[in-house]
Each structure stands twice: as C-alpha cells, then as structure tokens.
C-alpha cells in the first residue's frame, strides 16, 4: 500500500521552499502558454488520459532493494507522448491532486516536487529523447530503447534536483555527501523500473496509435519548433 | 466506436485497473526519497504512536496540511483495504482536472 511518495513539508527551509515555489509558478505559466500550440481536438483528450495514467502508475511502488521501493516519476513518458510543455502540466497536475487530496507531498514542498519531477524530470527526458529521435523514428525497437534511456536519465537527474535543494536549504539530519550518494544510487535502480514502464507504455501506444506520439511527429531534419510547422 | 474513442476508452480502463486493482500489490517499503530521508533513524512504537530515533532528515518532516482529507494516504477515511477505490477516485479527479484544462487550452477547430 502506498502512503507517501513525495517530499514532505519541513525537509528544506522556508526561503528555499518559497524560491522553488516561485520558480515553479513561473515555469508553469510559460508551460500553459506554450502548451496551446501542442493541444488540439485530438491531443487534448490524450494529454488528459496520460495525466490520469501517470497518477495511477505512480501508486505502484515496486521493490528495488530489501526495504526500499521506487515508483514512476513519468517525466520521459509524458515528454515522449505529449511533448515537454504539456507534459510539465501533466505531472504538475498529478502532484497537485496528490498533495491536496491524498496528503502526499507537502504543500510548502509542492514547488520543489514540481521542479524535480514536472520540470527537471520532464525536460531531461525530453532532451534525451529528442536528441535520439532519429533512432526512435527508425524502428519500434529504437523507440523502446530511446524511451528506456530517456526515462532512466530523467529519474537520476530529477533525484539530483532534490540534492540541490537539500544543499541550498536542507533541514539537516544527514550529510550532503550521504544524501547525494544514496539519492543517485537508489534512483539509478528506480530508473531501470522507470525505463521499463516507460518503454512498455510507449510501445503499447505505438502499437495502436503511433500518430498520437509527440516524439514521432517531430521532424528529423531542420530546427522547426513543435507546432510551428503547421 | 471509432478507433480513436476505442483507444481513449482502453487507455482509461487500463489506468483504472492499475489504480483500482494493481495498487493492492504495490510495495509498502519506503520509496527512494523516503529511504534517504529515513537513513540514520529507527522507527520505534511508543504509546504515542510511531517515533523516529537517531538522526535523519525525516525527523524534520511536518504533519501534512491536508492529513485530514478523506482521501489522505490513498485511503477512504483511513479505512483498511480502501486503496483501490481511493485510486479510482484519484484517476477520475486527475482526468477531470487535466482533461478540462487541456480541452480549454486547445486550439479550436483544428482537426488535422
């Protein structure tokens, strides 16, 4: 049974929490603006369903070591399926619902949880997937490999964002070196699960509706930004 | 049903099955972040409930502001074995919030 999965209140001091809260609000405002170009009658329902799917899968903690588990963060998954701006909003909505209704993730830590998973996680996954999109567009196997790699990297980099927050304003209780080593080590293991879930999900969508996969719609040549080619 | 509708319905059913059924089989061990936060502490049962002894980050964690929510800790009113229905409600609420926002934000009248 799941109880809590995200940062609680009090792990990081108030000024740091506030700074990341403001940062999250600013990025979400930009994301709302930029997401419009990627949303139409066909992709808007897809984005809503992807968000609900991430909520569901985040409930499934899988064992990584005796006494430790992990769960999907979802950054690369949403970036590949619906693009980085819409994807950032997807994960932020999941975190908002979890924080407000399910008492999971402190409300003063919401800015940091959004920063780590909805911003750092999504954009890391997107940058990795986009840099490998030639491979992703070549074959189904290529797509699955790209999904796995992007998801693995997004998990580890998102965990580093917490280490940064702890370095800036951590409440104490553990040394920064210990926090760094444990976060990266555990999230490298979680990243394998994240990669498998992401590849399986992207593969299932590719098997039925490949046209709904954002990454596969991106032009391989040229520097056309998302949506501007229409 | 069109293929698009079939796909969307299938996607939703999978999400509902995961949140409503598979959730009963989820690991209850602390996740990566919690494991780091609890590192250095032991959990002991006292008269006042569970307490952390030792020195760890989690000792600084505050009580959640919405700990009294009927859905707190992925349960219905804290009831044992209610993670499934709580998950189903979560999926529906998340779909409503996200679907509503994305539908409002979409470019109108563009069906490529």
Mean pLDDT of B47-52: 79
Instruction: Decide which of A49 and B52 is more confident.
Output: A49
Q: Token match 């998950």: residue?
A: B87
Under the banding of pLDDT at 50, 70 and 90, the label for residue A221 is: low
pLDDT at residue number A230: 40
Q: How far is A48 from chain B (nearest CA, A)?
A: 4
Interval A95-147: pLDDT, tens: 999 999 999 999 999 999 999 999 999 999 999 999 999 999 999 999 999 99
Res A224 pLDDT > 50? no
Q: Residue A4 has what pLDDT?
A: 67
| Contact assignment for B62 to A43 by CB distance below 8 Å | no
Q: Which residue has the higher pLDDT, B43 or A155?
A: A155
pLDDT surpassing 50 at residue B60: yes
For A186-197, the pLDDT digits (tens) are 999 999 999 999
ipTM of the complex: 0.94
Of the partner residues A6, A36, A53, the one whose CB lies closest to the CB of residue B105: A36
What pLDDT score was predicted for residue B111? 52
pLDDT higher than threshold 90 for residue B44: no
Distance from CA of A149 to the nearest CA of B (A): 19
Cβ-based contacts under 8 A for chains A and B: 260
How much is the pLDDT for A226?
46
Average per-residue pLDDT in chain A?
A: 93
């Amino acid at each position: 049974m799941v109880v809590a999965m995200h940062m609680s209140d009090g792990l990081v001091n108030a000024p740091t929490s506030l700074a990341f809260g403001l940062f999250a609000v600013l990025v979400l405002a930009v994301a709302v603006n930029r997401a419009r170009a990627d949303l139409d009658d066909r992709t808007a329902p897809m984005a809503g369903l992807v968000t609900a799917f991430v909520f569901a899968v985040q409930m499934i903690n899988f064992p990584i070591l005796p006494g430790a588990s992990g769960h999907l963060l979802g950054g690369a998954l949403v970036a590949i399926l619906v693009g980085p701006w819409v994807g950032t909003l997807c994960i932020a909505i999941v975190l908002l619902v979890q924080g407000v209704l399910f008492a999971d993730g402190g409300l003063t830590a919401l800015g940091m949880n959004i920063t780590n998973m909805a911003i750092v996680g999504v954009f890391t996954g997107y940058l990795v997937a986009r840099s490998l999109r030639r491979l992703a567009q070549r074959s189904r196997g290529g797509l699955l490999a790209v999904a796995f790699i992007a998801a693995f990297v997004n998990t580890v980099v998102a965990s580093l964002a917490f280490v940064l927050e702890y370095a800036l304003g951590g409440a104490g209780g553990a040394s920064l070196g210990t926090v760094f080593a444990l976060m990266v080590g555990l999230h490298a293991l979680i990243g394998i699960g994240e990669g498998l879930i992401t590849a399986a999900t992207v593969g299932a969508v590719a098997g039925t509706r490949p046209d709904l996969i954002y990454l596969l719609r991106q032009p391989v040549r040229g520097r056309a930004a998302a949506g501007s080619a229409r | 049903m069109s293929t698009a509708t079939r796909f969307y319905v299938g996607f939703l059913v999978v999400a509902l099955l995961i949140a409503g059924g598979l959730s009963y089989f989820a690991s209850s061990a602390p996740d990566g972040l919690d494991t780091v936060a609890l590192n250095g502490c032991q959990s002991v049962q006292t008269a006042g409930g569970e307490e952390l002894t030792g020195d760890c980050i989690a000792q600084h964690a505050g009580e959640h502001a919405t700990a009294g929510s009927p859905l707190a800790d992925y349960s219905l009113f804290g009831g044992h074995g209610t993670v499934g229905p709580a998950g189903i409600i979560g999926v529906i609420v998340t779909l409503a919030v996200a679907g509503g926002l994305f539908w409002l934000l979409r470019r109108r009248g563009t069906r490529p």
